[in-house]
Structure 1
């Protein structure tokens, strides 16, 4: 493209009403030959980083950012297959702060992600809160968690079994010693709307995108389009461990830093949908039982969804996304029916399975630069919390653009802790 055409294109683009117009429709889907930052993974984390990179770039239109996603249908994507929850009820201040940032962002989503001449974004947020139940053994931990949350500004509070029963008459409080409830900045929303909002806005700001799979380049292959880049962001979710291996991470001698793998792997999780006309009403929160089983209302027609994380012995095969319906009957339904007696008469309607980008080291995110491969940045390992922690996007963008964290210090989540063998503890993992 010569300089005269560049000037013409710039003037034409400024004159057009839509901010996402492109003069290269015939090459749609092909990556550029060069990019400053290549983001591997087009889920909500990847697109959040792309958006924030464009927001924080030092001078307008200086960063060439490319997002690579292998499945533009998102039929197997962790983002779109999640249950869409957001909560402040964590035990680590950094996790609480990330969710608080996300909640504030979502409240003003059209201020941030609105695109000229496009309809406004409706994430269908349901602010019904999270309700955590604790047995006698877990009551002290729950109480300490709430203390930390309130120190960070979260409006969570404790409920006794008597107060629980008064607030939720449909609840069986047998075995419950204490509960915590978050009435603000907690609930659930539509994951696809958030993903599409980030994607649409980032593209309108000049982010390149293509459908493809990142591989180690083989010589003289007509099917591979090489892209020269300065920085790679590994936001490949459940498959980020494989992407790290392509960069040589974890492939060296086992007693060296080069031999330490990114400890992120896919874990399959089931979500079940059922109908119960006499179940909890509109006041129903996202409930986390003492057993780890969870459920929430889905719409207003007596429908609910939920599940439970399997034990180590129950971990399902990850080779497909088939659903085990016996798991619901044997491991989920009895726990739900005990906690909500009307669920004894529920009828399963549908189900699906999705992947967690599960961090086997400590179930917390891995963020920031690899200590040796210093042009690879991680944004992975969220272990089921990626959607609500998409606020890590601006943090990674800050790290790339400024070389340091600014709004939230997330250094605790660096790869260095894995090298040191020092896991960080989050006590509210679901």
Structure 2
């Protein structure tokens, strides 16, 4: 039986024709028996060709968008034309490349655990998927600490993680001290340490791997800033998008299906399609906004400093740290309190925030951090989901040819391999095949069904 999503997709082609009952690749062949669509998009830049056509347009070329292009073209290389629109191909302010590149399965929601389990497998075996790419994966795991008050929640999370296939260990305060002698455990009751598919990697390399592989399979990556969409009156289908190219020309891309993966700017772009501005089902906004986060680089000359195999350690208040590179540098950070979110009109770093909110926790947890020297810093944007701080993945509830993959609130880079894969399944197969993450769909926003994480930073 064809799923309701496959039925919705069929309307983006020839509604009412025999092709409607076929998978998307077969429908394209039925509509275009001579396969003339395969070269739509070509290799020319938008500044040369001001009107383009494709089967799938992906708005946002970061990790999620590039992963989606990769999976779509990997599975339907000759039968599906894909254009990825990215407003800044240097990615200098992109959430992907400014992230810390962590991967872990220590979540409390089954969907996040499963998404990151595949992310960890993909990252550990990147060459199998992406060819000659080195993600510099450091398999040192995560260490999530809990007090007496939060220990029971950590135990529950650990049990679920194990049931779903994660390889973690629970450590009492005494065992933590034995394994990590530098750790002050006076106020710690329990810790969960990841033993497999956890650690960190080079996010630039992952993004480059997705992009290069997707291009090899035939995807086009074009520079352009979204201006607006064309939506016929009363239609539940978006026909095209207008973009401003690098040359300042206004270009139009016609498409059958649109995938919105624009990271921190997804909410803004959704409003250009009347999402959140219209009546009925269009009255529900896509609740994504940029949130600025700081990362600090420091060194220490203190004795008993955490060694090279130190896991990324998350403290009770959300402060985290880990070793960085092969030298003696560390990185650290922490999210601000909700009422103290910094402005997002720039990527300036607040160094006072480190002194007042990060360093005290570091110094308490490890005596070697009582005397440290900050030697670098950067800031990046979370694509923050203000509804429940978890990803929004799947079809839109009004537009039957719009799919969403955004709002991961700091977890996007590690979940990008799995999210791109499930989005390709929705488009090509009409439903989830490898992971059912339907609970993370856009419909939960309108229905007020938040999916909160517990005891997770």
TM-score, normalised by the number of residues in structure 2: 0.85
Structure 1 141/215 Cα, relative in aligned 2: closer, same or farther at 3 Å? same
- 1:41 paired with 2:41, answer no
Please point out which of 88, 91, 94 is paired with 2:111.
94
Q: Give matches, 1:54-65, under 5 Å.
A: 54-57=73-76, 60-65=77-82
Alignment match, 1:150: 162
Alignment match, 2:422: 395
Alignment match, 2:287: 263
Aligned pair count reads 403
Distance 1:24 1:223 in 2: 18
Q: Give matches, 1:23-422, under 5 Å.
A: 24=43, 33-57=52-76, 60-114=77-131, 120-216=132-228, 223-253=249-279, 256-278=280-302, 279-390=305-416, 391-422=418-449
Alignment match, 2:22: none
* Alpha-carbon distance, 1:205 to partner: 0.7
* Alpha-carbon distance, 1:138 to partner: 0.6
Q: For residue 122 of structure 2, give the secondary structure of its aligned residue in structure 1.
A: helix
Structure 1 or 2: larger strand share? 2
Query: What are the ranges of 5 or more consecutive residues in structure 2 without an aligned counterpart?
Result: 1-33, 231-241
Distance 2:431 2:193 in 1: 35
Q: Alignment RMSD, CA only?
A: 2.2
Is the 8 Å Cα contact of residues 153 and 455 (structure 2) preserved in structure 1?
no
Distance 1:26 1:289 in 2: 48
Distance 1:204 1:28 in 2: 22
- Alpha-carbon deviations, 1:89-113, whole Å to 9, x = none? 1111111111111122122212211
* Alpha-carbon distance, 1:313 to partner: 2.1
Distance 1:368 1:374 in 2: 11
Q: For residue 357 of structure 2, give the secondary structure of its aligned residue in structure 1.
A: helix
Distance 1:132 1:75 in 2: 31
